[in-house]
């Protein structure tokens, strides 16, 4: 006896369109996809089989140079932070408890190649048995509608549909296929595919599906193929992916096809809310126009499989996670509150909604912590953190309820926000300057309380080494300077940085350069002009003269350029100097150079010619030079015959060109100059002078 089937097939052109749309929906499954990104290194691996018949176990083998490889055995388009958490280092997986119907699953490998993250992906077909992709709908207590669509997973040569042990067989060429069976409900349904080559099929028997009656029940009717958006996730704040389940339909009528409605939460849907038409059960993405708002989704078709009243899913809404702001020492989370009503309607015999929401927190891509929330919460402060670690937050809302007599379940997942407090770079400290202490060691000073909300842990000094600033020293907080214990031999440049309690290191400060003071004979001090201050120029230099005995400042000479001529009049043996640099801002800042000690020079000279003619110009022969440091002095003058004609024992006295009161003759004379300095140095010099009138 033949079953009473009503069979409908598409026109040829619509048949191919149906297949194209369906294939597109499967491609959408991996829409956000690390697999599609080219910025990662390319890994590779082999699967033990490209088609798995359960309870067969999948084994993976790394065939790339990647190290530390891990795998996700059902990759759903998670981003890199979630993928690192989900990945496991196991090399095999049993899908028996995970897959109940045929699926195309993506296996993802994540590893490391030369310090760069590597990614590789492969698709796997998993079948619990030779069950094909199909759907069924009950219209009344006596109508059961079965649909087999064209689908990449429906690659069997033949199909058998058994309802209460009555069997019909169709071929691949008859897809898509729809059958309406008038039969009492409940009923037993078996749909299975067959290959002409038995080696291609799975050995596990196809399970019997018990189809219940259409009668309403408390809490709603359960129908596996009633339209439902089972999962909605914000991949990014402006892109959502969703999984839609429902019944297939072998009809080319627009009213028989599902439409997707998307609209702002709190408003009612209208015809302009339709964003997709003629969609089939599968996985899709949708662009969100305003990332700050929650948007609600549902699917609907005007005519059900049985030609009855409109059929639609319950609505499910996005949850934009707006921020995860660090406030010492916690993260403050805020999101858009999930609506408490379906379509803005209160609970009734046909409509009710229950929600359960929680925060999923991933710590350092390894530890998962679940934070339970009340159903009406839209903020949370997470105090259970270690600010040195990286955290990723997602909000998850599970929905259950009844709409239009039917039960529904759904899950809405927010966008992910990852926060790595240690990777946040604080601003540089200010008020930095360098000064050299009396021991000729540099110290870098700074503002020890920068405008930063986190407590400072330590300060780090960087020193210029061949054009690059390298870490030189560090010091625990609190302090307001860091020393360079090396004795100065030149001007040195420095930068300063700090590390807070969360291990965030600040930007390096502007460079500051120490002032290095040098002596250039016979009597000149010079110094470099690089700035010792980070945020001000130089207003003035002061040369500090130190007392030879008491080491106190006895004289200050001001300079506006970078050199100074020394006076040794106040010194006997050693002359001590230091430079003070004064900033040009207000309040003033001060920086000191190294201290130098110079041996007091002994330099006495006579002119080669003098003219004692009474014109008051060069009339007397006198010693020139610094004579204040002399212990003894003698100047002897001889005529050309070697006879001594004059002698002076006081360096401040001079010869007037007379010999025993008489005017000396014009001509050449000889002299001998000798002196002993206070520092013990002996000076002796012989020479000639010419007397002219």
In whole angstroms, give the CA distance from residue 304 to residue 302. Answer: 7
Structure confidence at residue 216 (pLDDT): 65
Average pLDDT over residues 33-58: 95
Report yes or no on 248 lying in a domain. Answer: yes
Average pLDDT over residues 20-48: 69
**Inter-CA distances, 113 with 59, 80, 120, 357, Å:** 22, 16, 12, 39
Q: In terms of domains, do 641 and 569 share one?
A: no
Report yes or no on 2 lying in a domain. Answer: no
Q: At residue 629, does pLDDT exceed 90?
A: no
Q: In terms of domains, do 490 and 407 share one?
A: no
Q: At residue 508, does pLDDT exceed 90?
A: yes
Closest by Cα among 560, 578, 462, 472 to 517? 578
- Can you tell me which residue has the tokens 């900033």? 583
Q: What is the domain-level CATH number for residue 540?
A: 2.60.40
Final residue before a domain boundary, out of 551, 579, 599? 599
Say which residues have a Cβ less than 8 Å from residue 38's Cβ, sequence separation at least 6.
none
Report yes or no on 65 lying in a domain. Answer: yes
Q: What is the domain-level CATH number for residue 155?
A: 2.60.40.2450
Q: At residue 458, does pLDDT exceed 80?
A: yes
Provide, rounded to the nearest whole percent, the portion of the chain with pLDDT above 90.
74
Q: At residue 605, does pLDDT exceed 80?
A: no
Q: In terms of domains, do 120 and 133 share one?
A: no
Say which residues have a Cβ less than 8 Å from residue 667's Cβ, sequence separation at least 6.
640, 690, 691
Q: In terms of domains, do 237 and 324 share one?
A: yes
Q: What is the domain-level CATH number for residue 433?
A: 2.60.40.10
- Can you tell me which residue has the tokens 């196991």? 90
Q: Which of 273-287, 297-311, 364-378 has the lowest mean pLDDT?
A: 297-311
Provide, rounded to the nearest whole percent, the portion of the chain with pLDDT above 70.
93
Q: Which of 44-53, 239-248, 605-614 has the lowest mean pLDDT?
A: 605-614
Q: At residue 35, does pLDDT exceed 60?
A: yes
Structure confidence at residue 679 (pLDDT): 74
Q: In terms of domains, do 664 and 543 share one?
A: no
Q: In terms of domains, do 276 and 308 share one?
A: yes
Average pLDDT over residues 170-195: 93
Report yes or no on 634 lying in a domain. Answer: yes
Final residue before a domain boundary, out of 513, 536, 563? 513
Q: In terms of domains, do 109 and 165 share one?
A: no
- Return the structure tokens found at 619: 């009339």
In whole angstroms, give the CA distance from residue 168 to residue 158. Answer: 10
**Which residue segment(s) compose the domain that 135 sits in?**
129-211
Q: At residue 6, does pLDDT exceed 60?
A: no
Structure confidence at residue 21 (pLDDT): 33
Q: What is the DSSP string of 534-603?
A: SS--EEEEEEEEEPTTT-SEEEEEEESSSEEE---TT-SSEEEEEEEEEESSSS--EEEEEEEEEEPP--
Q: In terms of domains, do 206 and 269 share one?
A: no
Question: How remote is the C-alpha of 76 from its chain's centroid?
Answer: 25
Q: In terms of domains, do 266 and 291 share one?
A: yes
Q: At residue 305, does pLDDT exceed 80?
A: no
Report yes or no on 402 lying in a domain. Answer: yes
Sheet with 517-520: list strands edge to edge: 517-520, 524-527, 563-565
Check if the beta carbon of residue 193 is closer than 8 Å to that of residue 130. yes
Final residue before a domain boundary, out of 211, 227, 248? 211
Q: What is the domain-level CATH number for residue 646?
A: 2.60.40.1220
Q: At residue 539, does pLDDT exceed 50?
A: yes
Report yes or no on 6 lying in a domain. Answer: no
Instruction: Give the model's confidence band at 302: pLDDT under 50 very low, under 70 low, under 90 confident, else very high.
Output: confident
Provide φ and ψ at 81, rounded to 5°: -70, -45
Structure confidence at residue 349 (pLDDT): 67
Report yes or no on 681 lying in a domain. Answer: yes
Average pLDDT over residues 463-492: 94
Q: Which of 118-127, 260-269, 504-513, 602-611 has the lowest mean pLDDT?
A: 602-611
Over residues 559-571, the pLDDT tens digits come to 999 999 998 877 8
In whole angstroms, give the CA distance from residue 202 to residue 447. Answer: 74
Q: At residue 610, does pLDDT exceed 60?
A: yes
Q: In terms of domains, do 115 and 182 share one?
A: no
**Inter-CA distances, 344 with 261, 291, 351, Å:** 15, 21, 11
Q: In terms of domains, do 133 and 197 share one?
A: yes
In whole angstroms, give the CA distance from residue 464 to residue 287. Answer: 51
Q: At residue 418, does pLDDT exceed 90?
A: yes
Q: In terms of domains, do 47 and 162 share one?
A: no
How many domains are there within the chain? 6
Report yes or no on 19 lying in a domain. Answer: no
């Amino acid at each position: 006896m033949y079953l009473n089937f009503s069979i409908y097939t598409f026109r040829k052109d619509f048949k191919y369109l149906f297949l194209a749309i369906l294939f597109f929906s499967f491609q959408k499954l991996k829409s956000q996809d690390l697999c599609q990104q080219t910025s990662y290194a390319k890994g590779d691996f082999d699967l033990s089989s490209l088609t798995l018949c359960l309870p067969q176990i999948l084994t993976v083998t790394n065939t790339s140079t990647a190290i530390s490889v891990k795998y996700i055995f059902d990759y759903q388009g998670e981003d890199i932070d979630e993928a690192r958490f989900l990945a496991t280092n196991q090399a095999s997986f049993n899908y028996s408890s995970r897959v109940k119907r045929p699926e195309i699953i993506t296996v993802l490998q994540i590893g490391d190649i030369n310090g760069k993250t590597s990614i590789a992906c492969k698709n796997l077909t998993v079948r619990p048995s030779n069950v094909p992709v199909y759907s069924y709908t009950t219209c009344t207590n006596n109508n059961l509608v079965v649909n087999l669509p064209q689908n990449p997973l429906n690659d069997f040569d033949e199909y058998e549909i058994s309802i209460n042990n009555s069997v019909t067989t169709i071929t691949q060429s008859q897809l898509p296929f729809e059958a309406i069976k008038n039969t009492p409900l409940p009923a037993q349904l078996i749909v299975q595919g067959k290959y002409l080559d038995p080696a291609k099929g799975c050995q596990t028997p196809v399970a019997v599906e018990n189809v219940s009656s259409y009668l309403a029940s408390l809490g709603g009717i359960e129908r596996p193929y009633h339209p439902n958006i089972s999962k909605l996730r914000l991949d990014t704040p402006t892109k959502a992916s969703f999984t839609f389940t429902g019944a297939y339909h072998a009809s080319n009528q627009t009213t028989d096809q599902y439409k997707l409605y998307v609209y702002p939460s709190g408003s009612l849907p209208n015809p302009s809310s339709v964003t997709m038409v003629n969609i089939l059960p599968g996985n899709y993405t949708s662009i969100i126009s305003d990332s700050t708002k929650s948007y609600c989704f549902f699917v609907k078709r005007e005519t059900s499989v049985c030609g009855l009243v409109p059929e639609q899913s319950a609505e499910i809404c996005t949850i934009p996670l707006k921020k995860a702001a660090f406030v010492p020492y916690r993260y403050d989370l805020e999101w858009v509150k999930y609506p408490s009503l379906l379509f803005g309607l209160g609970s009734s015999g046909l409509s009710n909604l229950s929600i359960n929401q929680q925060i999923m927190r991933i710590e350092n891509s390894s530890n998962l912590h679940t934070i339970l929330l009340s159903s009406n919460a839209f903020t949370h402060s997470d105090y259970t953190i270690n600010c040195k670690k990286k955290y990723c937050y997602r909000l998850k809302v599970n929905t259950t309820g009844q709409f239009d007599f039917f039960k529904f379940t759904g899950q809405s997942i927010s966008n992910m926000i990852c926060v790595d407090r240690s990777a946040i770079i604080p601003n540089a400290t200010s008020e930095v300057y360098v000064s050299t202490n009396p021991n000729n060691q540099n110290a870098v000073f700074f503002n020890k309380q920068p405008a930063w909300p986190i407590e400072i842990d330590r300060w780090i000094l960087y020193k210029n080494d061949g054009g690059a600033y390298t870490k030189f020293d560090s010091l625990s907080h609190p302090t307001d300077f860091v020393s360079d214990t090396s004795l100065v031999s030149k001007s040195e440049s420095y930068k300063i940085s700090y590390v807070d309690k969360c291990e965030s290191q600040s930007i390096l400060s502007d460079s500051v350069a120490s002032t290095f003071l040098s002596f250039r004979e016979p009597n000149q001090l010079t110094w470099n002009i690089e700035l010792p201050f980070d945020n001000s120029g130089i207003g003035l230099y002061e040369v500090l003269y130190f007392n030879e005995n008491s080491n106190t400042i006895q004289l200050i000479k001001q300079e506006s350029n970078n050199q100074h001529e020394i006076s040794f009049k106040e010194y006997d043996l050693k002359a001590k100097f230091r430079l003070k640099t004064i900033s040009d801002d207000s309040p003033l800042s001060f920086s000191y150079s190294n201290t130098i000690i110079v041996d007091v020079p002994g330099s006495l000279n006579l002119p080669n010619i003098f003219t004692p003619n009474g014109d008051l110009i060069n009339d007397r022969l006198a010693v020139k030079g610094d004579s204040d440091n002399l212990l003894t002095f003698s100047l002897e003058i001889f005529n050309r015959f070697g006879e001594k004609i004059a002698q002076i024992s006081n360096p401040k006295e001079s010869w007037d060109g007379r010999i025993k009161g008489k005017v000396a003759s014009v001509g050449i004379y000889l002299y001998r100059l000798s002196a002993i300095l206070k520092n013990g140095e002996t000076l002796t010099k012989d020479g000639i002078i010419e007397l002219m009138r």
